[in-house]
Amino acid sequence: MSLHDLVISPFAYEFMRRGLLSALLLGVSGGMIGCVLVLRRLALMGDALSHSLLPGVAVAWYFFGTSTSALFFGGLAAGLLTALGSALLSRLTRVKEDAAFGSLFIVFFGAGVALVSKLPTRINLTDFLFGNVLGVSAGELRLAAAVSLLTVAVFILFYRSVLLETFDPVFHRATGGHGGLVHLGFLTLTVLNLVAAMQTMGIVLALGLFLLPAVSAYLWCDRFITMLLVSIGIAVVDSAIGILVSFHAGIASGAAIVLCLGAVFVLSALFSPRHGAMGTVRQGAARRPAP
């Protein structure tokens, strides 16, 4: 098999071009979102959030069919309901936010699975959970483009607020920043990206496209801006490779992309000279602050 057969010819198919484009677009925004998730230690919350989208999407599908915008708003509503619901729950009851989030999302996810299996629709649960690049419609591609553009714009416009809120929320507040607003805006962006990534990546795997490039970049970079750029780079390159692997090996696109990203992550964790495992072992206990 020539290089041309390997890399170029798959994209003779319309669905492959759409799938690739959608993955690239979401790689850009997801790579940025992931950095904040990693640095704010919200990685698991992002995971929970992605699962909770299912019932919203299922209900939207039932009432409005394959309409992209309906699915989008269904997922958005379910995601925000989980986020706000758990915030409210932790304020009003003794339950702490992580437990509240964990409990709510699993109930939402359960409801979603129940709905999907019971509703008289032609939804394929597997596609929902793990992604199917074959199904990226023109509408979904437009959605991915819009979400990606919005995310990039927000990060550029509010770069300083994002950085301050991520690094030192107390200082951000002390200087008149609106931490709550930034946080809410960020959660909304995360949900938007998750919904947009649903078709290619699947609900369960979508977060991988956000998180894995960011953790990998985190292992290499000592500046926030470089971390963002490296994360985007990894996400974009691995999305493209993943789509190709998915085509040739005949596996779900979400899984293929996540596996490629996972490989980069494992390599980074092992071999990053300063923050990886090898580096730490080599320096022994001397990982104390330099004088």
- What residue ranges bind another protein (CB under 8 A)? 39, 157-158, 160, 163-164, 166-168, 170-171, 173-177, 218, 221-224, 226-227, 289-291
Least distance in Å: CB of 221 to another protein? 5
Closer by beta carbon to another protein, 39 or else 113: 39
Least distance in Å: CB of 226 to another protein? 7
Closer by beta carbon to another protein, 136 or else 227: 227
Least distance in Å: CB of 227 to another protein? 5
Q: What is the 3-state secondary structure (H, E, C) of 182-207?
A: HHHHHHHHHHHHHHHHHHHHCCCCHH
Terminus-to-terminus CA distance in the chain, angstroms?
A: 56
Closer by beta carbon to another protein, 4 or else 222: 222
120: which DSSP letter? Answer: S
Closer by beta carbon to another protein, 120 or else 289: 289
Closer by beta carbon to another protein, 20 or else 38: 38
Tokens for 232, please give them.
């985007």
Least distance in Å: CB of 230 to another protein? 10
Alpha-carbon gap, residue 39 to 26, rounded angstroms? 20
5: which DSSP letter? Answer: I
Least distance in Å: CB of 279 to another protein? 13
Among 24, 66, 33, smallest CA distance to 227 is for 33
- 281 CA to centre of own chain: 31
Q: Could you tell me if 235 and 30 are in contact, meaning their C-beta atoms sit under 8 angstroms apart?
A: yes
Closer by beta carbon to another protein, 250 or else 289: 289
Q: Could you tell me if 276 and 219 are in contact, meaning their C-beta atoms sit under 8 angstroms apart?
A: yes
Closer by beta carbon to another protein, 17 or else 173: 173
Least distance in Å: CB of 142 to another protein? 28
State whether the Cα torsion 154-155-159-164 is positive or negative.
positive
Q: Could you tell me if 244 and 251 are in contact, meaning their C-beta atoms sit under 8 angstroms apart?
A: no
Alpha-carbon gap, residue 195 to 98, rounded angstroms? 22
Least distance in Å: CB of 36 to another protein? 11
Question: Which distant-in-sequence residues (6+ apart) come within 8 Å of 91 by Cβ?
Answer: none
